[in-house]
Structure 1
């Protein structure tokens, strides 16, 4: 009789539970691993459910069929994000394994440590390398500025990712060197620092146009994050965005930035909200 793989089920159901109990009598260590993954999968489904609940839907296409499809899609995403190195399932597995018999005096949880997964293979889990590399490269700077200002590192990382296309479209100096301006902050009349002049896209009366503009240049990415936080907290027109950020609402933060005129793109808030959600998901996968 063939055994149904537990990692192929959409959710933890009665059949999966029975299979897990049966396996526990034959292979306790394997059952512990599967139970830990099932718990993590349920946890990830709940996280995604709450993320969707915090995002307002249009209501135009909402019905029972679309809701069911969304739930099934979230379950599949949860399965793909389950079992990553350093994730929740490994911590649960270690705790459960402590109660198992120890063969030959060895801790079964430590007998076969999981091999570290190389970063490039994350693309197989719907995490493109450029996305992972961008977050890993800028995470320390974002966290440092969050500690100084209270603006969530995830929100700043997401906006930097959106402005640079996950690092693919950096603002460069005339000599080709990196300006480290990851937030697209322009050099206005009051800016006395270095400047990078480039051709960019602006929306004028709702129409995209190519214009030449001057942008601030920095000595490091951390300087860019710090100047961005200073811009938000030091300008009254961004007070709504700062309050939304401190409340932890990604959608409200993006909407307040657009209302304050941070960007001319009429779809800026919608795009930024999606990138913030992506950043949260990828950081969970990289944890």
Structure 2
């Protein structure tokens, strides 16, 4: 078995490597930074344990304390990388930090997208706790999506007539769309919702696949839509840190989410949720981006008061347009 060597605490090149990766938007930079945070936490734990130990021994001197300090720092690095029984890390703190940093990166990406259509004030947000129903999935043929459904560019930012606006394709977004597009098309046939709307919502919920909830052993949960595991859910469950809004105030919470065996299964469950719950009846067959997003918001799909605005911007943004199959 091949293992990745644990870096030495005397190797200053590790920080430089993380800086280089972050400048190139390499996802590995998030993982490396998260591991360093976990290593630092473990070092503090070890230091506290040693401080609680009596210091009356024969070898209690400055030299021994220096050695123990260096040893604790190196042990923190080792435990953060290979301390778990499955070889995937010690406390799992790095994974939670990586997930949170990925979500923040997605919010930063959204800020660069053009503004969507004006949105009316959303209804009071509610946490998603859907009721699973064994209703058979009908087949609905989605109507053709007119070109005019995409949000217009804000005033003053339109390109001159005949001028081609350069579009940079994101490798992360392209890989994510390629991975789930076929399943999104199937969900579209069931719900009448355009496939690009479904992909956009999955991108918003998972940060283009970068912050999907993971199982305890590191395997993906394939939960593409942030669907929580309510009392009626009998399948697998994962726990993850998420941001919930209570009375408009963001709070970090650990919530239980549904886990699936594949992305196709997640798509089917998403489609079943929409067609079997009366509160989502208003979004079925909707082909207007803003109306679809507002419908989800009013139905209480998410607690984020800006959820509809974010989703509308992704649907009408250049990132999605550059990677969706034509």
Name the TM-score class by shorter chain. 0.5 to 0.7
Task: Determine the structure 1 residue equivalent to 2:252.
Answer: 210
Distance 2:181 2:232 in 1: 29
Q: For structure 2, which runs of at least 5 residues remain unmatched after alignment?
A: 1-144
1:90-122 CA distance string (max 9 Å, x none)? xxxxxxxxxxxxxxxxxxxxxxxxxxxxxxxxx
Q: Is the 8 A contact 1:232 1:239 kept in 2?
A: yes
3-state SS, counterpart of residue 211 of structure 1: strand
- Cα RMSD between the aligned structures? 2.5
Q: Is the 8 A contact 1:134 1:167 kept in 2?
A: yes
For normalisation by structure 2, the TM-score amounts to 0.51
1:66-98 CA distance string (max 9 Å, x none)? 74x33326865x443xxxxxxxxxxxxxxxxxx
3-state SS, counterpart of residue 213 of structure 1: strand
CA pair 204-133 structure 1, distance change in 2 beyond 3 A: same
3-state SS, counterpart of residue 233 of structure 2: coil
1:218: how far off?
0.2
Question: 1:72 pairs with 134, 159, 163, which one?
Answer: 159
Task: Determine the structure 1 residue equivalent to 2:4.
Answer: none
| 1:1-287 pair list within 5 angstroms | 50-51=148-149, 54=151, 67=155, 69-72=156-159, 76=163, 78-80=164-166, 125-242=167-284, 246-278=285-317, 280-283=320-323, 287=326
For normalisation by structure 1, the TM-score amounts to 0.58
Distance 1:73 1:188 in 2: 51
1:159-204 CA distance string (max 9 Å, x none)? 0000000111111011111000010000001001110111111011
Q: Is the 8 A contact 1:187 1:216 kept in 2?
A: yes
Distance 1:160 1:268 in 2: 13
More helix as a share of residues: 1
Q: Which has the higher contact order (CA 8 A, sep 6+)?
A: 2
Task: Determine the structure 1 residue equivalent to 2:127.
Answer: none
1:143: how far off?
1.1
Distance 1:282 1:226 in 2: 26
Distance 1:233 1:73 in 2: 43
1:153: how far off?
1.2
Q: Is the 8 A contact 1:156 1:225 kept in 2?
A: no
Q: For structure 1, which runs of at least 5 residues remain unmatched after alignment?
A: 1-46, 58-65, 81-124
How many aligned positions are there? 181
3-state SS, counterpart of residue 141 of structure 1: helix
Distance 2:161 2:183 in 1: 31
Q: Is the 8 A contact 2:191 2:274 kept in 1?
A: no
Q: Is the 8 A contact 1:241 1:257 kept in 2?
A: yes
CA pair 255-175 structure 1, distance change in 2 beyond 3 A: same
Q: Is the 8 A contact 1:187 1:215 kept in 2?
A: yes
1:223-264 CA distance string (max 9 Å, x none)? 11110111111111111122xxx1311110000100111000
